[in-house]
Amino acid sequence: MQLSRTSNNLNRKSWSLVFLQTLLVLTQTVQASDDQQQQQQLQAQNPLQQQGEIKGVSPEDQHLYQPNSKGLFQCLSNPEIQIPLWKLNDDYCDCPDGSDEPGTSACGPLSRFYCANIGGPKLSNGQSGGYLPGFKVNDGVCDYDVCCDGSDELPGVCENKCDELKKQNDLLINEKVSVLKKGLASKVKTLNKGKDARFRLVAERDKLAENLKELETQLTQLESQQNENHDFVNGLFGKLDSKLAEVDGVVGKVVQREKKLDDSLSLLDKVLAGLSNDYNPNFNDPAVKAAVQAYRDFEANKGDDFISNDSENRKVGEGFSDLYKEIESLKKQVIQLSKSSESSAAAPSSTGFSLQGFMESLVSSFLGIDPPKKQNTDGGNDKGFEVADGDLDKTIKDIKNKIKSFTRELDNKNKDLEKNYGPDDILRGLEGECIVEPINGYDYKICFTDKLEQINKGGRGTLIGKFDNSELNDGVLKMHYNRGEKCWNGPIRKGSVTFQCGTKNKILAVSEPEKCEYSFVVSSPIGCFQEELDKLQNDY
Ligand code: MAN
């Protein structure tokens, strides 16, 4: 009995346990089926989650929304946070990264919404499908620029415009392709002109460099010839001067000796005159009588020019001084004459008169020496002293001036060759071309490789800048103009020109984003690039 009661008790307990367990399982099953039902119900009600696809997620990202082994969704950037699937797109933000609400605006800018845009135009990413930031979803605005299918709003709010927009876009693309093709064809001509212009400039630069070299050689020759000639004339007159000094010395000595003789003679004359007058004839001294007689005979026959006087001696001295002066003046004339003849060193004399020959014979006969031998550099045909028109100093001066201006010109050409005229020097192809457009009360004038001007109604042009350089960035060509007129109370004016593809050169717009800094948009064939055409043709 006891045993059976005990056994009964045990059975009751076991049954209770089994019952409880069964109840628990049943409750869980009912709960799970409630969850599933709720989820199914929500899915059925929720247009944001249809046909097993998570709304707002691109086809390639759908797999990220597969439930894990526990049947839960793991937030994409925070996998430790796991939520039941029915919480996806339930308009409540559960995940910190917004990944549970791709099809609603619940997570604001954290989430992003994908719209498929089937049949729509390709977007800038090269695909039709686009992404909108989450806060633009269900805001009552149809964001057709990204979602042409209108799927960013609840059904019925935005009609699908993908077909219509695709047609419009196709027209635009076709137009763009046609402009690009025409522009590129015309660009080839400008490119060729640019290449020719560079070629010409290089040829001019090389010719200039060659001329400059020739002038420098000529200058060196003329300068050394000038020095040589001056040395020659100076040497010649140096010898003449020393010979004259020698002769002057000898003549001086002769004059002095003559003076001494004159003095002695005067003394003797006085002595003999005294003797002749004062001797005593009563003393019969035959020697005295003979001397007196001889003196009286001499006096009677000597003539007027027997004794020289000082004035004659002076004349000899003055004669030498005049000779020196004449030689000095002759030296000056010779130097002048030699300069003139040197200047035409390369040209033979038309007169046939040779200064060198003349000088050599003149000086040599005066000196009684052989004429000096001048070294010839041209095989014996010495033209250095032949007389012709012109002036060596002037020729040298002219050559020096020419060298200066040639050097400046060469420098400018080299600088120009280093300037950035765009890819393949294309801007050189627009050399000399200008375009004008009236905008905002001014005429704006762009001369491509020259000046950029703002012309007022009175016709006065204000220089915005002179062409300086260009750059090509991301397929966009830009020219820079610098060093314009100073702005009143402001900076030096400058401007930039951005090219866009067009069939003609035309100023489309101008703005002054900063005071006296101007920004132009110009359509031109040189703004067209094959890469852009290829991209358009490949992408659309
Ligand atoms: C002129 C023009 C303007 C410029 C002002 C600056 O009016 O060149 O573009 O802004 O001068 O004083």
359/363 Cα distance (integer angstroms) = 6
What's residue 126's pLDDT?
82
Virtual CA dihedral for 398, 404, 410, 412, nearest 10 degrees?
A: -130
Pure H helices in 279-309 = 286-301
184 CA to centre of ligand 1 in angstroms: 37
538: confidence class by pLDDT, cuts 50, 70, 90: confident
Mutation to probe ligand 1, out of 440, 487, 489 (largest number of atoms < 8 A from CB) = 487
pLDDT value, residue 305: 63
Whether the pLDDT of residue 501 is over 80: the answer is: yes
Q: Which among 488, 489, 493 is the best mutation to test ligand 1's pocket, defined by most ligand atoms within 8 Å of the CB?
A: 488
pLDDT at 46: 46
Q: Which atom of ligand 1 approaches the CA of 462 most closely?
A: 8
CB 146 within 8 A of CB 134: no
Residue 29 pLDDT > 60: no
CA distance 444 to 464: 10
Q: Using CA positions, which residue lies closest to atom 11 of ligand 1?
A: 487
Ligand 1: nearest atom to the Cα of 515: 10
Using most ligand atoms within 8 A of CB, pick from 443, 462, 481 the residue to mutate for ligand 1.
462
Binning pLDDT at 50, 70 and 90, where does residue 7 land? very low
User: When comparing pLDDT for 280 and 190, which is higher?
Assistant: 190
Closest CA to 502 of 523, 516, 482: 523
**Each residue of 87-105: pLDDT tens digit?**
999 999 999 999 999 999 9
The larger pLDDT score, comparing residue 383 to residue 190, is at 190
Q: Is the pLDDT of residue 179 over 50?
A: yes
Phi, psi dihedrals of residue 210, rounded to the nearest 5°:
-65, -45
Residues belonging to the chain: 540
CA–centroid distance, residue 487 to ligand 1 (Å): 7
Counting from 1 in the atom list of ligand 1, the atom nearest the Cα of 489 is 12
CA 35 to chain centre: 77
Average per-residue pLDDT for the chain: 84
Q: How far does residue 516's CA lie from ligand 1's centre (Å)?
A: 6
Model pLDDT, residue 311: 72
Please compute Rg for the chain using Cα positions.
59
| 413 vs 230, residue with greater confidence | 413
Question: What confidence score (pLDDT) does residue 346 get?
Answer: 41
Averaged pLDDT for residues 385-411:
82
Question: By alpha-carbon position, which residue is closest to atom 12 of ligand 1?
Answer: 488
C-beta neighbour count of 412 within 10 angstroms = 12
- Helix (H, G, I), strand (E, B), or coil: what is residue 509? strand
d(CA 398, CA 456): 45
Buried b (16+ CB within 10 A) or exposed e, 24-47: eeeeeeeeeeeeeeebeebbeebe
More confident residue, 9 or 75: 75
Q: What's the CA-to-centroid distance between 485 and ligand 1, angstroms?
A: 10
Name the strand (E) or helix (H) holding 453: strand 451-455
Do the strands 82-84 and 72-74 form a parallel or antiparallel pair, or are they unpaired?
antiparallel
pTM summary value: 0.61
pLDDT greater at residue 392 or residue 114: 114
Across the range 387-398, mean pLDDT stands at 72
Rounded to 5 degrees, φ, ψ at 141 are -110, 130
Mean pLDDT (whole number) for 161-170: 96
Rounded to 10 degrees, what is the CA torsion of 320, 321, 323, 326?
180
Given a cut of 50, whether residue 380 has pLDDT beyond it is no
| Residue 232 confidence class, pLDDT cut points 50, 70, 90 | confident
Statement: residue 376 has pLDDT above 60? no
Cβ pair 406, 216 in contact under 8 A: no
Residue 125 above 90 pLDDT? no
The pLDDT assigned to 27 comes to 43
Q: From atom 4 of ligand 1, which residue's Cα is the shortest distance away?
A: 516
Q: How far is the CA of 375 from the centre of ligand 1 (A)?
A: 72
Q: What CA–CA distance (Å, rounded) separates 139 from 150?
A: 12
Q: How far is the CA of 435 from the centre of ligand 1 (A)?
A: 21
* For residue 396, pLDDT beyond 50: yes
Which residues contact ligand 1 via a Cβ below 6 A? 454, 462, 487-488, 490, 512, 515-516
- Is residue 4 predicted with pLDDT exceeding 80? no
Tens of pLDDT along 430-446?
999 999 999 999 999 99
Q: How far is the CA of 493 from the centre of ligand 1 (A)?
A: 9
Q: Once rounded to an integer, what is the mean pLDDT over residues 324-351? A: 61
- Closest residue CA from atom 9 of ligand 1: 516
Q: Which comes out higher in pLDDT, residue 424 or 333?
A: 424
pLDDT digits (tens, 9 = 90+) for 37-79: 555 554 444 444 445 799 999 999 999 999 999 999 999 999 9
The residue with greater pLDDT, 43 or 246, is 246
Q: How far apart are CA 506 and CA 508, in angstroms?
A: 6
Q: Are 480 and 493 in contact (CB under 8 A)?
A: no
Q: Does residue 198 have a pLDDT over 70?
A: yes
Q: Whose CA is nearest to atom 8 of ligand 1?
A: 516
Residue 390 — very low, low, confident or very high, per pLDDT cuts 50/70/90? very low
**Cα 422 to ligand 1 centroid, rounded to whole Å:** 29
Q: Between 513 and 248, where is the model more confident?
A: 513
Q: How many Å lie between the centroid of ligand 1 and the Cα of residue 500?
A: 26
Helix (H/G/I), strand (E/B), else coil: 63: helix
DSSP per-residue string spanning 140-189: S---TTT-TT-TTS-TTTS---HHHHHHHHHHHHHHHHHHHHHHHHHHHH
Q: Is the pLDDT of residue 384 over 70?
A: no
- Residue 12 predicted with pLDDT over 50: no
